[in-house]
Amino acid sequence: METGFAAKFWPYVRILRAALPHLRADGSVTLVTAASARAASPGTAGLAAINGALEAMVPPLAVELAPLRINAVSPGVVETPWWDTVPAEQREALFEGFAKSGPVGRISRPGATGLPRRAATEPREP
């Protein structure tokens, strides 16, 4: 779990701290989390803690840093090398199950998750 926090949680904190003086007051920051923050799946306690911590930061940061907008997105299951430790047949069955239970009926691929982040960070119309 310490490695996971070192790889995902603390970099967000350090980058945000370093970027704050350079961001526009009406800008936006988006943290990328994961469904593991809100799910109870065996073997994902560490992921739940890391992503849950990121999601828990969003409301207080939004208040503290207003008018800067602070958001979090969770792109769902993304087919990345993270899944390579799962045997291929089992992985395909998992992906099929995730796709059937998800809102868009498929899992995501790397690079396909940028649109929600761009939409969340575009300036709002007055």
CB 32 within 8 A of CB 73: yes
| Token duo for residue 30 | 């988006």
CB 108 within 8 A of CB 78: yes
pLDDT at 121 over 60: no
Angle among Cα 113, 73, 59 to the nearest 5 degrees reads 165
Instruction: Read off the pLDDT of residues 16-70 as tens digits, 9 standing for 90 and up.
Output: 999 999 999 999 999 988 877 887 777 788 889 999 999 999 999 999 999 999 9
